[in-house]
Amino acid sequence: MDQIYSDMADRTSHYEFNTTECTDFSGATRVVEVKQKENEFISEIKTTIKLSDELLEKDISNNDKKGDLVKIKSSMFQIVNNLKSEIKKIEDNEIYNLNKNIKENLKKLNENLILLNNMFNKLY
């Protein structure tokens, strides 16, 4: 058994394996990944905007909590308009690599809009 192991070790040590690491994708793969990630991010925001638009269309005139709902709708309206204009700029200019500050601001606005949507739904 030791002889077989020794023979195998001798045989494998005589062969060299030509391995090359394929790391040059010319950045194309990275660009596609960034674009896809940003598109998913923008898509999430657009979904929140769509849900908010539906809530903004609801009639609150006969609701007992009308005063609170009006305040929430006003805040929602401002955020929705800001997000829509920013998303339009991003899509029109085909910006797929958002800088950190813009992305954080959009993320925060989206989170706030989700909170307002939830508050509205609880009161409505």
Q: Are 96 and 34 in contact (CB under 8 A)?
A: yes
Identify the pLDDT of residue 31.
Answer: 74
Structure tokens given for 121: 């739904």
Quick one: pLDDT at residue 44? 97
Using CA atoms, how far residue 52 sits from 75, 105, 107, 109, 117, in Å, is 11, 18, 15, 12, 6
**Mean pLDDT of residues grouped by 10 in the chain (124 residues)?**
50 47 62 85 97 97 96 98 95 87 96 98 96
CA dihedral 51, 57, 85, 96 (to 10 degrees): 20
DSSP state string for 56-92:
HTS--TT-TTHHHHHHHHHHHHHHHHHHHHHHHHHHH
Where are the domains positioned within the chain? 31-123
Report the 10 Å Cβ neighbour count for 12: 9
Compute the distance between CA of residue 26 and CA of residue 19 in angstroms, rounded to an integer.
20
Supply the pLDDT for residue 42: 95
Output the pLDDT for position 56.
97
Under DSSP, the state recorded for 55 is H
